[in-house]
Amino acid sequence: MSIKPVKTAVFPVGGQGTRFLPATKAMPKEMLPVVDKPLLQYAVDEALAAGIERLVFVTARGKGALEDYFDVARELVDSLTAKGKTAELATLEETQIEPGRMVYVRQQEPAGLGHAVWCARHVVGRDAFAVLLPDELLWNPASPALKEMHDAYMKLGGNIISVLEVPEEHTHRYGIVSPGRRDGLITEVSALVEKPARGTAPSRLAAIGRYILQPEVMDVLALGKRGAGNEIQLTDAMAEMIGNQPFHALTFTGTRFDCGDKAGHVTANIALALEREDVGPAVREWLRAQQF
């Protein structure tokens, strides 16, 4: 049976962002900028580069700014047009998604990542779908993470997650892969453990916020089983599918910034700024002048 391309991506964006208070009192954490684009825009750009056609945002109360961001800011467009600011207009066009491609659903309670994904079940239907966590900025403009995953999926089918090796002392923070056969960057997943106790991790391969999943994961999530933190964990649901469907991990080849962490967010701003011709020289000059 031929493998159909993945056309739907789910973005769980209902979290409260408490680690970034007080900023997130007034704005969703997914709208925190890295240089001049919000985190969510980077994730959406990555999805579009992989051929995704339908974008499903799982939101919560107080997340209206997410919807407004991708809308047409008519007064701003008219003002820029009247002033002949073509460069700024072109920048705005990058944030406008074709009508009908975006879907917003609500997660009424903070019951975990698995619950957020399950909230999108009626939109996803019975097709394979992608999940992207926007606060994980996976930076590889030449070959975006989800595109690499999708290329692998079209050969392997089943389920594919993006992973990176993390230090042993950090494995308790992640969903960790128990590895099987390896072939280059592809690792067969024998088991998954969500946030293993220190010293018990089966490897250092950690899931880093990108997934291509078969729709059967929704059936597992529907059971509402609680895991770490008394939440419905996506990792636990995926673990139940191993052995019934092909399951692989693809090691990411770019740079990962954990922008759910303050230090990671600051680092991402510096790193991406340095790559920019417009702001890179000034940032580089400032860094050279510091005595760290």
Write the pLDDT tens digit of every residue in 9-52: 999 998 888 899 998 888 899 999 999 999 999 999 999 999 99
209: β partners? none
| Cα–chain center distance at 1 | 29
Per-residue pLDDT, 224 = 82
Higher pLDDT, 215 or 96: 215
Which amino acid, residue 63? Answer: K
Q: Any idea where the domains of the chain sit in the sequence?
A: 8-289
Per-residue pLDDT, 89 = 85
Per-residue pLDDT, 1 = 57
Least trusted range by pLDDT, from 62-71, 241-250, 265-274: 62-71
Compute the mean pLDDT over every residue in the chain, rounded to the nearest whole number: 92
Identify which of 161, 133, 238 has the alpha carbon closest to the alpha carbon of residue 192.
Answer: 238
Q: What is the pLDDT of residues 112-142, one digit of tens each?
A: 999 999 999 999 999 999 999 999 999 999 9
d(CA 120, CA 217): 12
Please tell me the pTM assigned to this model. Answer: 0.92
Percent of the chain residues topping a pLDDT of 90: 68
Pick the CATH number of 8-289 from 3.20.20.120, 3.90.550.10, 3.30.470.20, 3.40.190.10: 3.90.550.10
Per-residue pLDDT, 99 = 83
Q: What is the pLDDT of residues 73-115, one digit of tens each?
A: 888 888 888 888 888 888 888 888 888 899 999 998 888 999 9
Contact 126, 215 (CB under 8 A): yes
Identify which of 280, 258, 289, 250 has the alpha carbon closest to the alpha carbon of residue 136.
Answer: 258
Per-residue pLDDT, 212 = 98
d(CA 19, CA 29): 9
The residue with tokens 């909230």 is 119
